[in-house]
Amino acid sequence: VSAERVRAVTIRDVAREAEVSVASASRALNGLDNVTDATRQRVLAAAQQLRYVPDIGARMLSTRRSDTIGVVLPDLYGEFFSELIRGMDTGTRAKGLHLLVSNSHGDADEAAAAIRSMRGRVDGLLLMSPHVDAHLLADNLAHDLPIVLINTRVDGDAHPAFRVDNHAGAMTATRHLMARGRRRVAHIAGPADNFEAQERRRGYEDALEGAEPIVLAGDFSEQSGADAGAAILAMDPRPDAVFAANDMMAVGCLGAFEAAGLTVPGDIALAGFDDIPIARLLRPSLTTVRIGIADLGLQALQRLVSTLEQGGPAQGAAEVIEPELIVRDSS
Amino acid sequence: VSAERVRAVTIRDVAREAEVSVASASRALNGLDNVTDATRQRVLAAAQQLRYVPDIGARMLSTRRSDTIGVVLPDLYGEFFSELIRGMDTGTRAKGLHLLVSNSHGDADEAAAAIRSMRGRVDGLLLMSPHVDAHLLADNLAHDLPIVLINTRVDGDAHPAFRVDNHAGAMTATRHLMARGRRRVAHIAGPADNFEAQERRRGYEDALEGAEPIVLAGDFSEQSGADAGAAILAMDPRPDAVFAANDMMAVGCLGAFEAAGLTVPGDIALAGFDDIPIARLLRPSLTTVRIGIADLGLQALQRLVSTLEQGGPAQGAAEVIEPELIVRDSS
DNA sequence: CTGAAAGCGCTTACAG
DNA sequence: CTGAAAGCGCTTACAG
């Protein structure tokens, strides 16, 4: 029928070629010291000659280790996640580990499926998802799989967690705009069901000190920022400052202002959140709240690795990361 | 000694709980039709109750499939790779596949290690690396692992490949600058040992039509672009246009010009290569050569998936992707 | 429709 | 130092 699939070279082939047992071949290949030099040479030579590459799946099953860290993210799009993955990758390289990045997922069911599919492929999990709560986690996480949470709404200390203080960051940004003399500060919000977006909005509102909140809907996308910017232009009285719940929406908003001939910050000031790399390249460069995204990814990874190395079940209090206001030309 | 590691729930536990054989449990769990409804119900109920999650590693070993695509990239940093992965992810989601992203690697040895480590974990490989040649591939790729190459220097049609026509793209950009009346077009080159950088440089030189080449060294980083920009400022006569081998160097170069008070394109025109998302957000927006990065990633993935579905060994001619000039305000 | 058993390719006590 | 054998957790012919 179809072309016969060529059988791959296994450790048995290597052992036969080197005329030793499979056990000795395994030991030689793995650099253990209970083999003679002569044996090791023969095995290595055979492996080389046959172009042997170990089947990692089989090794995983035997050792119960995969040397792989699973990463479940809400999305793979944009600089935020690119930075986060880069930070994780830094730590992963240093330890000789791999990164298994989950498909992006937009709802709780997809997140649950992503978590479930990690069992047996990874030694630990880094999970960032606005859709995941404690209940979903309990139902879908293999209970012996160490996990570190990033900005989920899971509370308690059953799992180690990193949490960006979105509320404080948003307050700082809003207060900054007001300290610049702005009186009508509008807010472009993120998705209504997103925990982080909620916290940022709350921080905005808490910083207003009695001023009337002006909130426009958004979904973290550049387009939604542009739409909100257009809506702001039509307001009367027009806001004199805008705090967007993330940088990409600020980018869209800035484009709308620019197209309408408004100057920033002359006519209207603007601030974002995240400090993605683009922020400092915009003109005017964007005032924003820096999270240290790559560093967050690295820290979460290191935390996970250290619990893996201890071997115990992962737990511990949540670490709160305080974001930093970066003042640039847009405010 | 240390806390005993809790043994995870296996299919045997589920089978015992449901009072059926492991084989029936497996069939019910996998939705095969050769089980009675009653059996399926009992098995599913037991699985749910025990919070069973299948060990994918074991399944991989049995089925010889991982439903995972390996991706080996030279780097994980920046928008280019973020876009590429996003494109691959699009295709991967549609097919229910996973993406295993390799650690970044800066030389041939690391690339070889990354390729080797994929065996047994992935059904196929997407490889983009300026360090990989046919020899290295033959030595390190499990010979039954389908692979699709992206912009490597491997030629021939042993493996399906995608190749961006860097030479043509660079010629187009350079000619565009000259058509705008520029007479002294400088080039900021990429890494000397990088195949793509070489091709772009060659395209630049071939487009000059006798004009003197002015080449500055770079390494694709923003910083190297800034350095080159500073060097250009010091030249006498000063070039009146710059073609950078990628957008990130153009970004750095633009910053240097801006800091020196030069106007773009008034005093000096500028063009890049890649069309990363930042390009249109810069002021002036950047003229560049668009590769359609996400689309390239998606196409490569689809090509791989289709060879996987056919089951035969992957092969085929290289597809050449013609990049497109995007004229914006910087030229 | 169901179950006992072999097998996927490794690693690792256990004996020698 | 070495090898025979069990085992990791699944799937899948093979019999019934």
pLDDT digits (tens, 9 = 90+) for A209-228: 889 999 999 999 999 999 99
For strand C, the positions having any atom within 7 A of a protein Cβ are 1-5, 7-13
Average pLDDT taken over every residue of chain A: 88
Q: Which residue is nearest to nucleotide D7 (CA to C1')?
A: A62
> Could you say which of B77, B93, B144 has the minimum Cβ distance to residue A86?
B77
Average pLDDT taken over every residue of chain B: 88
**Nearest CA distance, A317 vs chain B (angstrom):** 20
pLDDT at B304 over 80: yes
Mean pLDDT within B141-162? 82
56-75 on A, CB < 7 Å from strand D: 58, 61-62, 64
Q: Which residue is nearest to nucleotide C6 (CA to C1')?
A: B62
> Could you say which of A86, A103, A143 has the minimum Cβ distance to residue B98?
A103
**Nearest CA distance, B143 vs chain A (angstrom):** 7
> Could you say which of A56, A77, A103 has the minimum Cβ distance to residue B120?
A56
pLDDT at B72 over 80: yes
Q: How confident is the model at residue A2 (pLDDT cuts 50, 70, 90)?
A: very low
Those residues with Cβ within 8 angstroms of residue A272's Cβ, 6 or more apart along the chain or in another chain: A243, A244, A246, A247, A248, A249, A250, A251, A279, A286, A287, A288, A289
**Each residue of A153-191: pLDDT tens digit?**
887 778 889 989 999 999 999 999 999 999 999 999 999
Residue A170 CA and nucleotide D15 C1' are separated, in Å, by 69
More confident residue, A62 or B105: A62
Amino acid at the residue B50: L
Owner of token pair 């020196």: B260
Please say whether the beta carbons of A269 and A242 come within 8 A: yes
Interface touch A54/B119, C-beta < 8 Å: yes
Interface touch A53/B312, C-beta < 8 Å: no
d(CA B176, CA A77): 32
pLDDT at B134 over 50: yes
The pLDDT score that the predictor gives to residue A194 is 85
Backbone φ and ψ of B241, nearest 5°: -160, 155
pLDDT at B3 over 50: no
Interface touch B278/A283, C-beta < 8 Å: no
Mutate to test the interface with B, among A6, A86, A123, A270 (most CBs of B within 10 A): A86
Amino acid at the residue A33: D
Q: In a 10 Å sphere around its CB, with 0-12 CB exposed, 13-18 middle and 19+ buried, how is residue A209 labelled?
A: exposed
More confident residue, A61 or B213: B213
More confident residue, A109 or A19: A19
Please say whether the beta carbons of B28 and B40 come within 8 A: yes
Range picked from A33-47, A61-75, A227-241, B287-301 for highest mean pLDDT:
A227-241
Range picked from A96-105, B244-253, B288-297 for highest mean pLDDT:
B244-253
d(CA B244, CA B247): 7
> Could you say which of B53, B85, B139 has the minimum Cβ distance to residue A51?
B139
pLDDT at B264 over 60: yes
> Could you say which of A8, A93, A251 has the minimum Cβ distance to residue B281?
A251
User: Among A95-104, A145-154, B80-89, B215-224, which is the least confidently predicted range?
Assistant: A95-104
d(CA B109, CA B97): 28
The pLDDT score that the predictor gives to residue B300 is 93
B-chain residues near A142 (CB < 8 A): 8, 53
CA dihedral sign of residues A13, A15, A21, A25: negative
Closest by CA to B251, choosing from B165, B327, B188, is B188
B11-18 vs B22-29: helix axis angle to the nearest 10? 100
Interface touch B100/A98, C-beta < 8 Å: yes
Interface touch B103/A101, C-beta < 8 Å: no
Please say whether the beta carbons of A42 and A18 come within 8 A: yes
Q: Is the CB of B10 under 7 A from strand D?
A: yes
DSSP-derived letter for residue B23 is H
Q: How confident is the model at residue B95 (pLDDT cuts 50, 70, 90)?
A: confident
Amino acid at the residue A126: L
- Rounded (5°) CA angle B10-B13-B19: 140
Interface touch A100/B102, C-beta < 8 Å: no
d(CA A325, CA A309): 35
CA dihedral sign of residues B327, B192, A78, B112: positive
The pLDDT score that the predictor gives to residue A1 is 21
CA dihedral sign of residues A153, A158, A161, A167: positive
Task: Kindly give the pairing relationship between strand B288-290 and strand B324-326.
Answer: antiparallel
More confident residue, B118 or B230: B230
Which helix or strand (DSSP H or E) is residue A60 part of?
A: helix A56-63
Q: How confident is the model at residue A5 (pLDDT cuts 50, 70, 90)?
A: very low
The pLDDT score that the predictor gives to residue B6 is 47
Residues whose beta carbon sits under 7 Å from strand C = A 7-8, 10-12, 22-23, 26-27, 29-30, 52, 54-55, 58-59, 61-63; B 20-24, 27, 33-36, 38-39, 58, 61-62, 64, 120
**Nearest CA distance, B196 vs chain A (angstrom):** 23
Mean pLDDT within A47-60? 86
- How far from A107 is each of A56, A130, B132, B162, B276, CA to CA, in Å? 32, 9, 39, 34, 28
Q: Is the CB of B263 under 7 A from strand D?
A: no
Those residues with Cβ within 8 angstroms of residue A13's Cβ, 6 or more apart along the chain or in another chain: A50, A52
Interface touch B61/A58, C-beta < 8 Å: yes
**Each residue of A226-253: pLDDT tens digit?**
999 999 999 999 999 999 999 999 999 9
Q: How confident is the model at residue B314 (pLDDT cuts 50, 70, 90)?
A: low
The pLDDT score that the predictor gives to residue B104 is 59
pTM: 0.79
**Nearest CA distance, B111 vs chain A (angstrom):** 13
Residue A120 Ramachandran class (φ > 0 left, ψ -120 to 50 alpha, else beta)? left
Mutate to test the interface with A, among B13, B66, B77 (most CBs of A within 10 A): B77
Q: How confident is the model at residue A312 (pLDDT cuts 50, 70, 90)?
A: low
Interface touch A104/B93, C-beta < 8 Å: yes
Interface touch B53/A116, C-beta < 8 Å: yes
